Amino acid sequence: MLVTGAVGPHDDLDEARLTRQLNHGRTPLREALKRLTHEGFVIWPPRRPPRPISFDMTAMQRLWEARLVLEETVARFAAIRISDEQLTRVSELCEAIRHAVLNQNTYEATEYDYAFHVAVAEGSDNPYMAETVSHLNCVGLPLWYRAHRVFGTEDSYADHNAIVQALASRDPEAAAATVVDHIRLSYARQLRMLELELGDPLASLSPTRFTRTSQAIKGTEGDDAQAQNREGTSSIPAPPDRVDQSNGASKPGRTQ
């Protein structure tokens, strides 16, 4: 509900209504709301009901600045320190993104995107950086989802595959440059998304999709297209925990 925007930033999270909707007692619901507050999805003012966090242009820019500074450094460390097992995990998540994109499942693509960046951060062998990356990107998930809904996810696999290749090369500068390029593109998409939502008349005159060629990513041509067309036999990790869409039962983890 929070990631997909089913509950808006100005909607109070009424405990009685959520208890009925999710079929849970008040105690586990309050614990879940506390967790969501800690993760940055929810703000809970004193003596007022909790509500989803909202982003304006300034808040989004500050979040992007933090990601850019942190994940560039994380990528350098990860290129040096990531284990073969961790690199396999990152590659599997990249493949999971590809499958979610092919299946046009925007929510799963967004969750796998989040898991991918956390896995890269874990490869830095710095738990403090990994925890911070996890928190920052968790806060930004609603923005990621909305941008994917507006502009599509077609380029998502190529973006993340370029990061995998840079890490596999064990080249810190290449890994950092690829991650910076990816985050800048993500920011551009989110900025344009907010402009469209705010009714900026100039936004509609700009392209509705942000694409990047293989040359701009890796200096080669055609590799990513071939990768997207292959059958793909790598193991796909289980989807991230989320609310069961079939019956509304809550599973561990973030709610949509």
pLDDT averaged per 10 residues in sequence order, the chain, 256 residues: 58 68 72 70 69 74 92 98 98 96 92 96 97 90 85 86 97 97 91 77 40 34 39 47 37 43
One DSSP character per residue, the chain reads -TTTTSS-TTS---HHHHHHHHT--HHHHHHHHHHHHHHTSEE--TTS--EE----HHHHHHHHHHHHHHHHHHHHHHHHH--HHHHHHHHHHHHHHHHHHHTT-HHHHHHHHHHHHHHHHHTTT-HHHHHHHHHHHHHHHHHHHHHHHHH-STTHHHHHHHHHHHHHTT-HHHHHHHHHHHHHHHHHHHHHHHHHHTT-TTGGGS-S-----HHHHHS-SSHHHHHHHS---SPPPPPPP---TTT----SS---
Q: Residue type for 56, please?
A: D
Q: What is the domain partition of the chain in residue ranges?
A: 15-52, 57-229
pTM: 0.70
Beta-bridge mates of residue 43 = 51
**Structure confidence at residue 6 (pLDDT):** 58
Selected from 1.10.510.10, 1.10.3470.10, 1.10.20.60, 1.20.120.530, the CATH number assigned to the domain covering 57-229 reads: 1.20.120.530
Q: What angle do CA 55, 61, 62 make, to 5 degrees?
A: 90
**Gap between the Cα atoms of 145 and 9, Å rounded:** 15
The pLDDT of residue 224: 40
pLDDT at 30: 72
Question: What local confidence, expressed as pLDDT, does residue 7 receive?
Answer: 61
Q: Tell me the two tokens of residue 223.
A: 């590799």
Question: HSE on the CB side for 119, CA within 13 Å?
Answer: 23
